[in-house]
């Protein structure tokens, strides 16, 4: 069972390979905060478990809010009609109030039934009988949320799996636009691929700007870069443009700025120990070597006390951005510009 993001990806790939070969387990428990991999495996099972002509009598798809465990067990204990197997899928299974009762079926599942329990953005209690019996009877795929600092590497790995490479600044810009939602990244990638020139193998910042609808010039990424170099003119200009955007959200901007200064803080702690290798820098920063120069500048311009002060400011403005201690006349864009000015003055 996977416990980390990359393990979830590897386990999902292994399961997808088995499913395409028509190798099925009696029970699948697909769960976790990040729904991309559980839903990918669930869809693959639905597509491959039965032939189209077998589905009318042998496929049951239910939703957790609409059924009880007893209904699922009854369906799972039926025998297939004119087919080798039947498929029972429970989506949104986190809504199933008596889900623990499914442990009774999982203790002795039918070989001719494939039971899929799909939990969206949630997980079963590992201390209880259902989880333990599902793990023993079949397979559990757990997909944890991808952390902010992991997303650029995930994007690069995903593009590699699609036979493409993506420039580091392009991966960062896509991550900033899509956040940590893997499905959003995949959807934006599909849109981008339809518009790439035939035979293109490298995705650039220009491709992301053109097809995803995000500007490199006026992005939080460019704001953090300007702050790293103490480029006051650019930082204030970018902050003003971002803050006036229709979809601007102060919490999202604070999150990105916090991640930047947290990385700088970790980097400074690494530098205190001596001269780090490129591998150590990559491990601590979670970015491609392309960005090392930016973090060298940030560490120089925001030594440890100033970096801590920057993080303290971010916590203060996170509170203000959520309506704490500010006048109702103060816009979130004005708060971002004010914050940027204070960060530059540290």
Nearest to 183 by CA among 36, 32, 41: 36
Instruction: State the pLDDT at residue 327.
Output: 67
For 274-284, how does the pLDDT look when each residue is reduced to its tens digit (9 = 90+)? 888 888 888 88
Mean pLDDT across 204-208 = 85
Which band of pLDDT confidence, cut at 50, 70 and 90, is reported for residue 6?
very low
Instruction: State the pLDDT at residue 213.
Output: 64
Show the domains of the chain with their CATH numbers.
Answer: 5-142 (3.40.50.300), 148-212 (1.10.8.60), 220-345 (1.20.272.10)
Tell me phi and psi for residue 32, to 5 degrees: 130, 165
Nearest to 219 by CA among 237, 231, 203: 237
CB of 150 closer than 8 Å to CB of 121 = no
What token pair was written down for 235? 């930082």
Nearest to 344 by CA among 227, 225, 241: 227
What token pair was written down for 54? 């077998």
Tell me phi and psi for residue 213, to 5 degrees: 80, 40
For 237-260, how does the pLDDT look when each residue is reduced to its tens digit (9 = 90+)? 889 888 887 777 888 888 889 989
Cβ-based neighbours of 78, under 8 Å, separated by 6 or more: 86, 113
Instruction: State the pLDDT at residue 4.
Output: 42
Residue 218 has pLDDT above 80, yes or no: no
| Interatomic CA distance for residues 3 and 1, integer angstroms | 7
Instruction: State the pLDDT at residue 1.
Output: 36
CB of 270 closer than 8 Å to CB of 276 = yes
Long-range contacts of 229-235 (CB under 8 A, 24+ apart): 229/294, 229/297, 229/301, 230/301, 230/344, 232/344, 235/340, 235/343, 235/344
CA dihedral sign, ordered 127, 133, 134, 139: positive
Give the global pTM.
Answer: 0.70
| Interatomic CA distance for residues 108 and 86, integer angstroms | 16
Tell me phi and psi for residue 59, to 5 degrees: -125, 125
What token pair was written down for 246? 């229709």
Task: Convert 223-257 to b/e letters by CB count within 10 Å (16 or more is b).
Answer: bbbbbbebbeebbbbbbebbbeeeeeebeebbbbb
- Alpha helices, DSSP H, located in 141-243: 151-161, 168-178, 182-195, 205-212, 220-228, 232-243
DSSP code of residue 98: T
For 119-176, how does the pLDDT look when each residue is reduced to its tens digit (9 = 90+)? 999 999 999 999 999 999 999 999 998 887 788 889 999 999 888 899 988 888 888 7
């Amino acid at each position: 069972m996977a416990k980390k993001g990359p393990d979830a990806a590897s386990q999902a790939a292994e399961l997808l390979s088995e499913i395409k070969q028509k190798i099925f387990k009696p029970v699948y428990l697909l769960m976790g905060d990040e729904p991309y991999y559980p839903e990918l495996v669930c869809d693959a099972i639905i597509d491959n478990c039965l032939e189209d002509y077998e589905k009318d009598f042998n496929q049951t798809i239910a939703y957790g809010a609409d059924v009880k465990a007893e209904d699922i067990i009854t369906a799972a204990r039926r025998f297939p009609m004119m087919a080798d197997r039947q498929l029972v899928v429970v989506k949104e299974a986190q809504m199933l109030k008596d889900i623990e009762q499914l442990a009774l079926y999982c203790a002795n599942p039918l070989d001719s039934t494939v039971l899929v329990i799909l939990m969206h953005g949630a997980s079963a209690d590992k201390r209880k009988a259902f989880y333990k019996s599902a793990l023993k009877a079949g397979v559990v795929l757990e997909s944890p949320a991808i952390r902010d600092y992991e997303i650029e590497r995930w994007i690069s790995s995903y593009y590699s799996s699609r036979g493409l490479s993506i420039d580091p600044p392009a991966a960062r810009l896509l991550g900033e636009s899509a956040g940590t939602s893997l499905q959003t990244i995949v959807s934006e990638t599909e849109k981008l691929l339809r518009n790439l020139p035939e035979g293109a193998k490298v995705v650039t910042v220009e491709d992301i700007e053109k097809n995803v609808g995000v500007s490199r010039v006026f992005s939080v990424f460019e704001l953090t870069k300007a702050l790293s170099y103490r480029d006051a003119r650019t930082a204030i200009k970018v902050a003003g443009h971002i803050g006036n955007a229709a979809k601007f959200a102060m919490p999202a901007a604070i999150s990105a700025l916090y991640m930047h200064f947290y990385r700088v803080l970790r980097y400074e702690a690494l530098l205190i120990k001596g001269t780090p290798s490129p591998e150590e820098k990559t491990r601590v920063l979670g970015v491609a070597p392309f960005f090392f120069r930016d973090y060298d500048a940030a560490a120089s311009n925001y030594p440890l006390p100033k970096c801590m002060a920057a993080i303290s400011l971010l916590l203060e403005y996170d509170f203000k951005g959520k309506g704490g201690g500010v006048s109702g006349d103060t816009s979130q864009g004005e708060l971002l510009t004010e914050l940027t000015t204070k960060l530059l003055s540290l």
